[in-house]
Structure 1
Amino acid sequence: MADEPQIIIACRVVYDVISTLVRLIFEIILAVYNWIVAPAPKDVTGEIILITGAGHGMGREVALRFAKLGATIVCVDINPAGNQETVDMIKKAKGVAHSYEADVTDRAAVFKLAERVTMEVGDVTILMNNAGIMPCKPLLRWSEKEIRSTMDINVNGNLWMLQAFLPSMLERNYGHIVAMSSVAGLMPVPNLVPYCGSKYAVRGIMDTLALELQSEKRDASGLKFTTICPYIVNTGLCHKPKTRFKSLMKVVETDVAADTIVDAVRREYREISIPGDLHYLIRYLLWTLPFPVTSIVNEFLGAGVDPHD
């Protein structure tokens, strides 16, 4: 078969360039429109929502809110007592919830969890990878155990849960994956080197998985992704937050953060920060400037955490 004439190849390239530019412009206009006119929140009645780390803090608060909206909540935690407390709170409010004890760092246990939940409750339609830990100290004071635990829980736990629950979502071309990253996954924060690395990784996992599924032969358009990047939420993980401008980078109470997360999931936002204006400041300003600028801005804001424990 003879090679195609150069003119045909050139025309094809020109067509691809124009087509790509049109698609880019369309997506930018759509993003701006959705920023100005927020999408309507979806109804979560009847959804089966699995939340890791549901026995306390953000996991518990989000579980309570989704339950009030009519979803069935699958509470997963390594602490059975705290997890059962969350379930009891949901049931007391006339909601539907189930308690499962599991260690998200144990891949085999996660796959057994998926089998049990599917058989006893049904196919999970919204998966929220919320479990995480946050030691806070200079890197050279982190122990090997602390580093391994941080990476196992914050990163590998996400991967094992995805491998266990994503297949059923793909089979039905329906599902929503929610991941808890952090503002520490958008910008460097001293005293949190391994933690920052784990939260940068969470964002990378979410973005890359979304892109990977777009290249699948089967239709995966029914799967949605939401990455949450809170600054500091008053859950007890961070004992010594600091900031020069408390109104801009303030410690957020759990009820406010939970309301924001539930709203973001229902509106199917791709990525948000808490407070919301930090996302635009960091991702669309600091990322476009040289690294020394980040250091100067960080020094000016005085934001971060002092070491503890």
Structure 2
Amino acid sequence: MNLSLFIGVSQNMAPDLNSAKKLFIFLGKSVFALLEAMVFALIPKPRKDVAGEIVLVTGAGSGLGRLLALSFAHLGSVLVLWDISKEGNEETCKMAREAGATRVYAYTCDCSRREEVYRVADQVKKEVGDVSILINNAGIVTGKNFLDCPDELMEKSFDVNFKAHLWTYKAFLPAMIASNHGHLVCISSLAGLIGANGLADYCASKFAAFGFAESVFVETFVRKQTGIKTTIVCPFLIKTGMFEGCTTGCPTLLPILEPEYAVRKIVDAILQEKLYLYIPRFLYFMMFLKSFMPLKAALLLTEYLGGFTLMDGFLGHKKQD
């Protein structure tokens, strides 16, 4: 065979061999990942120990944030409580101490203000230490149709429900990266997965929070910072008073959640280091259907579940999470 022809054939074969090698490696790793997922589906993943971990909860002065703080108090964590309401936050602080927490720190912080987040974060780092579990829970809801919602309220929704996540990550993620240890928790919503009638600004802010948390997770994965975990939580309505007056058309499949149940599921997901948590479980099936259902069928299902009218009786409450 002509030497130049042999060299040419060899060079042409090299990319094919590399492609085949990559394909086999991908298939092998994928099979292993599927088997691992099946094992953990049958045998729950061991829960990690969070005793001594510094846990920061935003919106800790009431509702879901308060219950999350109390759960971590029972687990022996060091608690850092942030809320815009000094009175509510101090009440949570008192309850956490009664629940057994020995180190609890309450800070009044308006998470919608970037400069305030950075200022209070610096104070936390000096007085408590580096936060290792960050739970972005604070949220507000306007409950108005898009054209009826004042601009300042829409901006406030984004400031609290989404932008606060940017500032807290900027403040606390560098220390997690330095130690390759930490856990980032985003409390998003079903409204961060599916557009809802009467919740345009809320949905937009929760979609943004979901996408941001998922993107940072991908960044840490690409950089092989395997010690930094992420959990993104998407619940249906929870009885914290934030969505007072809202209803569901099908309480069997899509019930309004009891706060204690939601918190138990969220804490379990954090301790098992799950990336996604949708509650109730029917939401997983909903998202599966959304990926292929014809539009008319999807709209009919939404109507059946009461998705078009869930905000009709919305009252809200004076003190939001």
TM-score, with structure 2 as normaliser: 0.90
Give 1:75's aligned residue.
Answer: 81
Give 1:202's aligned residue.
Answer: 209
**Is the aligned partner of 1:144 residue 2:151?**
yes
**Is the aligned partner of 1:281 residue 2:285?**
yes
Using a 3 Å threshold, how does the CA distance of structure 1 residues 124 and 238 change in structure 2: closer, same or farther? same
Where do 5+ consecutive residues of structure 1 fail to align?
none
- The AA in structure 2 aligned to 1:29 is L
**2-side partners of 1:297 and 1:215: how far apart?**
38
**1-side partners of 2:204 and 2:294: how far apart?**
20
**2-side partners of 1:178 and 1:291: how far apart?**
33
SS at match of 2:141: coil
**2-side partners of 1:83 and 1:64: how far apart?**
12
Question: Could you give the per-residue CA deviations for residues 141-199 of structure 1, whole angstroms, max 9, x where no partner exists?
Answer: 11101110001111101111111100000000000000101111122211111111111
Asked whether the equivalents of residues 135 and 185 of structure 2 are also in contact (C-alpha less than 8 Å), the reply is: yes
SS at match of 1:225: strand
> Shift in Å at residue 308 of structure 1?
3.5
**Is the aligned partner of 1:173 residue 2:180?**
yes
Moved more, 22-31 or 206-215: 22-31
**1-side partners of 2:179 and 2:21: how far apart?**
35
**2-side partners of 1:283 and 1:164: how far apart?**
33
- The AA in structure 2 aligned to 1:240 is G
**1-side partners of 2:55 and 2:126: how far apart?**
15
Moved more, 3-12 or 117-126: 3-12
The counterpart of 2:265, out of the listed 260, 263, 282, is 260
Asked whether the equivalents of residues 137 and 308 of structure 1 are also in contact (C-alpha less than 8 Å), the reply is: no
Asked whether the equivalents of residues 55 and 76 of structure 1 are also in contact (C-alpha less than 8 Å), the reply is: yes
- The AA in structure 2 aligned to 1:146 is L
Give 2:14's aligned residue.
Answer: 8
The counterpart of 1:223, out of the listed 224, 228, 231, is 228
Asked whether the equivalents of residues 248 and 254 of structure 2 are also in contact (C-alpha less than 8 Å), the reply is: yes
Which protein is bigger by CA-based radius of gyration?
2
**Is the aligned partner of 1:45 residue 2:47?**
no
Using a 3 Å threshold, how does the CA distance of structure 1 residues 239 and 160 change in structure 2: closer, same or farther? same
- The AA in structure 2 aligned to 1:225 is T
SS at match of 2:81: strand
Asked whether the equivalents of residues 213 and 220 of structure 1 are also in contact (C-alpha less than 8 Å), the reply is: yes
SS at match of 1:73: strand
Give 2:300's aligned residue.
Answer: 296
Give 1:164's aligned residue.
Answer: 171
> Shift in Å at residue 307 of structure 1?
5.6
